[in-house]
Amino acid sequence: MSRNKMVMTALKLAVASLSFVCTFSGAADQPAPDFKRSISNLRGQRYCEVLYGKRHWLNLEVKVFNTQGLNLCPEDQWKALSKESIEKAYDASFVVLNGPRYWMMDEIQAAGETVNSVKESFGGMEMNLRATIDLSLLKQLMGSKHYTPNKISRTTNFIYRAGGSIYELTSPAGEVYVMQSYSQIVNPALNIKDLPILDKQLKLPAGWVYSSRVLDQDLSLVANGVAYVLQDNLSNSYQRR
């Protein structure tokens, strides 16, 4: 695999989820987040992301833009986007088109730097800036594997409502990751009806288990500054409980 391809794969794994009782992913001694923004009725909602980066020696500055709250990533506009035009417009070293994806939580609350009003238009499709990240080359290469958690800086609360289904990956060590979005990047035909039996399509590493269940009470996944996120081999994203 070429270095550029490894970098792009790593970025997809690391930032697919940067847009938007509790289990905390942040430090226990940090104060509870003061959530300033909330978006509801998200389950099954389509979104897309554009990531572009500039290389500075062995580091990359990556900007992550997301359609959430602005549009539903219209298929014709998404297909019309090209990496080359974005690279030229933003003098970028590389571009990743990450989508389409579909949210699996019911509500997102955000705080801190996760909330901002910076917008860009890509092929006429508006997107908000969700994060700016500096990634060293070593970290990019180390984060380029599926089923490997990446440490993401963000302050969010992903809320899954009682009565809804959730889909989880459990590691050999007993760590549980809840699906936050499913993707049509690898399998364009994947839809929400496939998720209860998704293990038939997954290439699970030894000791990993995929399961689904219906919640009997609300579930909140709070990232208090830090979230641990991974992707399966179909580019579906999960956050650690």
Domain boundaries defined on the chain: 3-20+23-240
Number of Cβ within a 10 Å radius of residue 205: 14
Average confidence (pLDDT) over 124-153: 73
Longest dimension (CA), the chain: 51
* The predicted structure's pLDDT at residue 24: 33
CA distance to 6, 166, 194, per residue, from 201 (Å)? 23, 17, 9
Render pLDDT for 89-110 as a digit per residue (tens, 0 to 9).
999 988 989 999 999 999 998 7
3-state DSSP percent of the chain in helix, strand and coil, to 5: 20, 40, 40
Average pLDDT over residues 130-145: 61
pLDDT at 237 over 50: yes
- Give the CA-trace dihedral at 79, 238, 6, 47, to 10 degrees: 20
Region of 68 on the Ramachandran plot (φ > 0 left; ψ -120 to 50 alpha; else beta) = beta
Confidence of residue 227 (pLDDT cuts 50, 70, 90): confident
204-222 residue pLDDT tens: 999 999 999 999 999 999 8
Contact 239, 196 (CB under 8 A): no
Which tens digits make up the pLDDT trace of 1-24?
555 555 555 555 544 444 442 333
Structure confidence at residue 19 (pLDDT)? 44
Which pLDDT tens digit goes with each residue over 170-204?
A: 999 999 999 999 999 999 999 999 999 999 999 99
Encode pLDDT of 51-96 as tens digits. Answer: 998 877 777 788 889 998 899 999 999 999 999 999 999 999 889 8
Q: How many Cα atoms occupy the beta-carbon half-sphere of 174 within 13 Å?
A: 0
What is the DSSP code string of 202-235? --PPTT-EEEEEE-SS-EEEEEES-EEEEE-TT-
Q: How far is C-alpha 58 from the geometric centre of its chain's CA atoms?
A: 24
Phi/psi region, residue 50 (left: phi>0; alpha: psi -120 to 50; beta: rest), is beta
pLDDT for 21: 29
The answer to whether 212 touches 200, Cβ cutoff 8 Å, is no
Q: What's the confidence (pLDDT) of residue 151? A: 78
Asked whether the beta carbons of 37 and 156 are under 8 A apart, the reply is no
